[in-house]
């Protein structure tokens, strides 16, 4: 962005100096006013430029048409990880509504079974396959995914699986933290690598969609590993987007605002910030249309008020300053006081 702005900033700076020199000779008061005007423009332009560059794509996606992925990629099958409940389940139903067969990869629990039954009931003419597995270290879940998809082409992938570990880092079992990395980040890389290789070798078009989070671009105390993995997901998606865009493979990471799902159930530690966010959560069914609108139109997409305001906040307040403010305020938070008693 700064490379683009430099010529404009140079002209403004030169104009400030010229105005000051001219006004000093003729009218000191006029010189001061002119210089102030140019300086104001100097600082205002980057802000206006950022807002325009940020909001135009967001508005384009918000009001754009919803693509039919079956037609867009000439596809028969799609795959959704974490599809047993929440956002993943809503995505599976949206895909099925477009005439796609769906492979759901999820924990082998009652939610997966209920979702499979509901899909088959609503869309009896389509096929649905389930892969019940855990994205944990040491589990060969890719072997199960390979086995379930070896006889079909799957050009549409939604990497949606994830969970959160709350509380201070030093109070969480290291095994659970590593499992959080595996599920939220490593599994997404494995799944993307597996299917991108197939798409590239077959010269077919497709899409890889990642469910990231607002936590990926703001400090998230009491959920450090979750925030770190989501930051990874967004950066990975942005880089992969560049690598495969010319091949007709669309990659995007979406950052939803709070969503009412099982995500908030069974937290390790009560966190008031998360509970407050849950109160403003929207139903998972509200997301698929917006997520679909993002495919092929962006590398990163912020969804909802919290995502938009957080993104703008990190523009106006440098991230290091943002973090220091959180660090100073944290000891006064009830979450901190409660969990710090055991340290």
User: Which residue numbers are catalytic?
Assistant: 226
3-state DSSP assignment of residue 247? helix
- Rounded CA gap, 65 and 53, in Å? 20
Helix intervals (H) in 27-75: 28-62, 69-72
Counts of helices then strands in the chain (DSSP H, E):
14, 7
* Token pair belonging to 128: 């649905």
Alpha-carbon radius of gyration of the chain: 24
- In eight-state DSSP terms, residue 169 is G
3-state DSSP assignment of residue 296? coil
Tokens 């070798």, residue?
201
Q: Burial letters for 22-58: b for 16+ Cβ neighbours within 10 Å, e otherwise? A: ebeeeeeeebeebbeebeeebeeeeeeeeeeeeeebb
Q: Are 200 and 152 in contact (CB under 8 A)?
A: no
Helical (H) or strand (E) element with 175: helix 174-181
- Rounded CA gap, 23 and 279, in Å? 58
- Rounded CA gap, 272 and 215, in Å? 15
Distance from first CA to last CA of the chain, Å, rounded?
44
- Rounded CA gap, 150 and 307, in Å? 38
- In eight-state DSSP terms, residue 182 is I
Task: Indicate the angle between helix axes 174-181 and 224-244, nearest 10 degrees.
Answer: 20
- Rounded CA gap, 318 and 212, in Å? 22
φ, ψ of residue 34 to 5 degrees: the values are -65, -45
């Amino acid at each position: 962005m700064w490379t683009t702005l430099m010529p404009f900033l140079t002209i403004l700076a030169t104009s400030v100096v010229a105005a000051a020199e001219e006004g000093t000779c003729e009218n000191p008061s006029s010189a001061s006013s002119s210089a102030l005007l140019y300086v104001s423009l100097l600082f205002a332009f980057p802000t206006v430029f950022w807002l325009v560059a940020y909001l135009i794509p967001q508005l384009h996606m918000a009001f754009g048409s919803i693509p039919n992925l079956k037609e867009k990629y000439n596809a028969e099958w799609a795959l959704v990880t974490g599809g047993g409940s929440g956002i993943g389940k809503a995505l599976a139903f949206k895909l099925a509504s477009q005439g796609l067969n769906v492979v759901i990869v999820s924990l082998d629990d009652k939610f997966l079974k209920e979702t499979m039954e509901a899909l088959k009931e609503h869309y009896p003419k389509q096929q649905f396959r389930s892969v019940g597995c855990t994205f944990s270290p040491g589990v060969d879940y890719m072997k199960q995914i390979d086995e379930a998809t070896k006889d079909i082409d799957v050009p549409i992938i939604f990497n949606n699986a994830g969970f959160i570990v709350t509380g201070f880092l030093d109070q969480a079992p290291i095994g659970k933290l590593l499992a959080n990395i595996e599920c939220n980040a490593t599994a997404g890389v494995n799944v993307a690598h597996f299917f991108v290789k197939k798409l590239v070798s077959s010269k077919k078009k497709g899409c890889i969609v990642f469910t990231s989070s607002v936590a990926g671009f703001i400090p998230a105390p009491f959920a450090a590993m979750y925030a770190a993995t989501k930051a990874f997901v967004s950066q990975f998606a942005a880089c992969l987007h560049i690598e495969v865009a010319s091949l007709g493979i669309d990659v995007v990471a979406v950052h939803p605002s709070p969503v009412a799902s099982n995500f908030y159930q069974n937290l390790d530690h009560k966190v008031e910030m998360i509970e407050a966010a849950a109160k403003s959560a929207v139903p998972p069914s509200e997301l698929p249309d917006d997520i679909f609108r993002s495919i092929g139109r962006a590398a990163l997409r912020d969804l909802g008020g919290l995502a938009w305001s957080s993104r703008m906040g990190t523009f106006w307040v440098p991230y290091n300053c943002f973090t220091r403010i959180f660090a100073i305020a944290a000891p006064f938070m009830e979450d901190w006081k409660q969990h710090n008693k055991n340290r």
